[in-house]
Chain A
Amino acid sequence: MTTLSCPGESTADARGGGGPERLPAAGTRMRLVRLASRPRRIVATMAYLDHAATTPMLPEAIEAMTAQLTVTGNASALHGAGRRARRTVEEARETLAEALGARPSEVVFTSGGTEADNLAVKGLYWQRRDADPARTRVLASPVEHHAVLDAVEWLGEHEGATVEYLPVDAFGRVHPQALREAIERDPDSVALATVMWANNEIGTIMPIPELSAVAQEFGIPLHSDAVQAFGQTEVDFGDSGLAAMTVSAHKIGGPYGIGALLLGREYTPVPVLHGGGQERHVRSGTLDAPAIAAFAIAAKLAAEGHKDFARDVGALRDQLIQAVQATVPDAILGGDPDDRLPANAHFTFPGCEGDSLLLLLDAQGIECSTGSACTAGVAQPSHVLLATGTDPDLARGTLRFSFGHTSTRADVDAVARAIGPAVERARAAGLS
C-alpha cells in the first residue's frame, strides 16, 4: 500500500531536463534529499535498449501483415478464399525455409518461441521414449530459457525423465566434449539433448554445429532454441545438423504470437496441442496468415542483413561496453567477451540490486532489463549466472542492454551519462 514520491517535482518540470533545480514546493520539507541528483522522468530522451525482449516491427513486416489483415480465408479451406490464404502461407513457408537453410516441409509454424520449445522438448521426448522405453535421459544446458528449462523440469516431474544438466564454462558455454561425456555414460538411454544457440541473458554463442555433430554420431536428436541467435549470427538449419530448432518472429522485427519449429523430416514429435493437425500433424490450429506473411519477410531481411547488423549494432554495443567500464570500473561483463551476440551487453554491478538500477535508469528514460526472470514481480538471481558459478548476491545485480535495428549512438550516450550515478545510488540502497 505504498507509493514513493518526490515532493515538489512535477513531471512537467522534469521534462525540462538539465535545467536548474527549483526549490521544493512550500510546505515541503526535504531533510535528507540531495536535490541535484534525484531520479526524474525524462520522457523526451527515451533509449530503448531491450530489443532482446522484443524489437519494433520492421516497416516491411507491418506492410505485409496489414495487407493480409484485409483479406479473409482459412488456409485449410478448399474454396478460393482458402486457396488464397494457403498460397500466402506456403510462400511464407518457402521464404522462411530459405532464410534458415531449411526445406519448406521442415517449417512448423507455432504461436511463438515458447510453444516451439515445448513441442520440441516434450514432443521429441515422447516420440523417442515411446519408441524405446529405455530412453528417459534428457540432456540440457542449465542456461536455457525458461521455455526449455521448465519444459524439461516438467518431463522430470511428470513423465519419468531424468534431466541432466550439461556443464558450462564461466561464459555459460556448453563444450562438445561435455555433451560427448554425458551421452557416453549411457548413449541408449538418451531421449534428446537441447542447447540454445545463443544465450538470451549474457549473449554467449554456443558451438551448435560441433555439438550437433556429437549428437548425430550417437543418433540422438539435438534441439536448439535459436530465438536470440537468428538475425545476429549465421543460423543455417540445414548445415547445423540439428533435429529441431526454435525461432520467433517478434525478436527479428516480425509480429508477436508467431514462431516456428524447424523440424527435421524424420521426426514426428507427439503433439502438445491436439486438433486439426494443420502443421504436419504435429501442430494444430488455424494458421495465422497475416502474421506468417510478416514473419517471413522479417526472416528474409534478418537472414540477408545479419552481417551488416552485426557490424553496425556490434559497434554501438562495443561503445556501450567501453563507456560502462570506463564509468564503473568494477562492472563485470557477462558472457564471452568475443564470441557473443553483437546486440548483447550484459553487466553485473557488485553491491547493486538489478531492480534498483532498472528503476533508476527507467526514470531517466532508459529501458533495459535485468535479464533474469521474476516470480510474482520479485526479481530472482539469474539462473544463468548461477550456472556459470557466480555468487548469488552478485547474480542479483545484473543489467542487460540489448540493441536492435532502431538503436543509435544517442542510446549509448544516454547510458554513459546515467550509469555512474545510478550505480552509486543503487549501491547506497544495497541488497534488501
Chain B
Amino acid sequence: MSGGVDSAVAAARAAEAGHDVTGVHLALSANPQSFRTGARGCCTIEDSRDARRAADIIGIPFYVWDLAERFREDVVEDFIAEYEAGRTPNPCLRCNEKIKFAALLDKALALGFDAVCTGHYATVVTREDGSRELHRASDMAKDQSYVLGVLDERQLAHAMFPLGDTLTTKGEIRAEAEQRGLAVANKPDSHDICFIADGDTQGFLAGRLGTAEGDILDESGAKLGTHDGAFGFTIGQRKGLRIGHPAADGKPRYVLDISPVDNTVTVGPAEALDVTALTAIKPRWCGAAPTGPGTYTAQLRAHGGETEVTASLDGGELTVHFTEPVRGVAPGQAIVLYDGSRVVGSATIASTSRAAVPAV
C-alpha cells in the first residue's frame, strides 16, 4: 500500500471479497523524507502513515517492509546505468519485475501468503486449464497492463488486481474511497519517478553521473551547440536543447540519437524520428513464447497508444516491424505486445530502424 487511493481501494475490495489481507508498505528509500513534496504519492513517512491509516480503516494488519537495498540495486542503479549507456529505461516495469513481483512476492509466499494484490489497473483471466492471462483493464483510459508486461506466468499466478475488472474512472475510485471512509480519497495521483523527489530527472542524473560538456550535432555531423551530458536526453525530446539559432528550414528539431561513447547528441527534424522497425532483447512472456511471426498490437510507453506490428522471435531477440512508422522510440524502453486485450509479453528495445536514417 503506497499510501495512495488506488492501493487502498484495492486492499479494501480484496478484504471485502473475503480474502485474508495484510497491508504492506514498501520502504524503498534508506532515508525517506518526512513529508510529500509536489505530486508524488509514495515513499515518504507521511505516505507510510497514510497507508497505515487506510489499513486501519479497512481493518487489516499493516507492515512496512524494508526493500530499500534491493530497490537501490535492482531499480535505481539500473536506471542510472541505462541512462549512462544512452538508453531510456522505465523504472516502474523494473520495479514490478524485480521488487513487487519478485522480492516482495517471494517473501510473501515464504510467509504463507498466496498472492500479491496491487492497485494496478489490469485484469487477470484464469483459463479453463488453470493458466493465467494478463489483459488490459476494462477501462482503457486507466489501463496499466503495460507496466505489468514484464510479469511471467509464475508471477501472474500470484497476482491480484482488484481494480482492473471494473469499468471505472479515477473519479469513481475516489468516490468509492470516500464512501469507504478512506482518508486518502483526495490525495493527488503520483506521476513522477518515485525515487526522484523533485521530479528533476536531469538534475538527479547529473548528481549521480556528473556533468560533461559535449556537442549537439545535426544529421550531417555539423556542430549546433553544446550540452552538459548526453545522458540527460531522451530520443524524441524537443525541449531543453538550447540551440541558439533556428534550423535552416525553420522546423523544430528533436533528439534523434544519443551517443554516450563520444558524448554527442544528434538532432534533426521530426520526420527523422520515424521508426519502421526495431529489435528488442530480454523478452518475458506471459505464458508460452510465441512461435513464428505474428501480428500484434504494440505499446511503447506507459501512456502511449497502440500500434499494429508484426513480430518474430529469433533466439532471444525479438524483431518488430511497424505497419505505420512510429515516433519517439528509444532503446531501453519496453515494448509490450498484445493480442487483442491480452498481454503476450514484453522486451527491452535494443535498436531501432528509421525511415530517414540507418539503424542506431
List residues of chain A with CB under 8 Å of any chain B CB. Answer: 1-12, 14, 25, 27-34, 37-41, 355-356, 358-360, 362-363, 374, 376-379, 425-426, 428-430, 432
Residue of B nearest to A380 (CB): B66
- Note all chain A residues with C-beta closer than 8 A to B186: none
Residue of A with least CB distance to B101? A2
* Contact indicator B67/A432 (Cβ below 8 Å): yes
- Cβ-defined partner of A39 (8 Å) among B20, B26, B52, B63: B20
**A377 and chain B: residue at smallest CB distance:** B64
Task: Looking at the assembled complex, report how far the CB atom of B16 sits from the nearest CB atom of chain A, in whole angstroms.
Answer: 10
Would A39 and B113 count as touching, CB distance under 8 A?
yes
110-169 of chain B: CB within 8 A of chain A:
110-120, 126, 130, 132, 154, 157-158, 160
- In the assembled complex, B279 has its CB within 8 A of some CB on chain A: no
Stretch of B4-12, B81-89, B253-261, B332-340 contacting A (4+ beta carbons < 8 Å): B4-12
**A359 touching B10 in the complex, CB below 8 Å, given contacts A2-B100, A5-B113, A377-B27:** no
Known contacts A5-B160, A355-B65, A376-B45; is A425 also within 8 Å of B110 by CB? yes
Footprint of A on B, CB under 8 Å? 1-2, 4, 6-7, 10-11, 14, 18-27, 32, 42, 45, 48, 52, 60-61, 63-67, 70, 100, 103-104, 106-120, 126, 130, 132, 154, 157-158, 160
Contact B1 A7 (CB under 8 A): no
Q: Is the CB of A5 within 8 A of B19?
A: yes
Checking A34, A359, A425, A426 against B22 with a beta-carbon cut-off of 8 angstroms, the contacting residue is A359
- Given contacts A39-B113, A362-B61, A11 and B20 within 8 Å (CB-CB): yes
B25 CB to closest chain A CB (Å) equals 7
With a cutoff of 8 Å between Cβ atoms, the chain A residues found around residue B116 in the complex are 2-5
The smallest C-beta distance from B74 to any residue of chain A, in angstroms, reads 13
Beyond A4-B116, A7-B19, A10-B18, whether A425 also contacts B111 by CB under 8 A is yes
Q: Contact at A3–B112, with CB atoms within 8 Å? A: no
Q: What is the CA–CA distance of A99 and B88 in the complex, to the nearest angstrom?
A: 70
CB < 8 Å neighbour of B114 from A38, A379, A425: A38
Known: A6-B20, A10-B18, A14-B20. Is A430-B113 also a contact (CB below 8 A)?
A: no
Q: Is the CB of B114 within 8 A of A432?
A: no
CB distance from B232 to the nearest CB of A (A): 29
Q: Which residue of A lies closest to B12 (CB)?
A: A3
A425 to B112: give the CA distance in the assembly, Å: 7
Q: Are A378 and B10 in contact (CB under 8 A)?
A: no
A33 to B114, CA, bound (A): 6
A31, B115: Cα distance in complex, Å: 11
CB of A377 within 8 A of CB of B126, answer: no
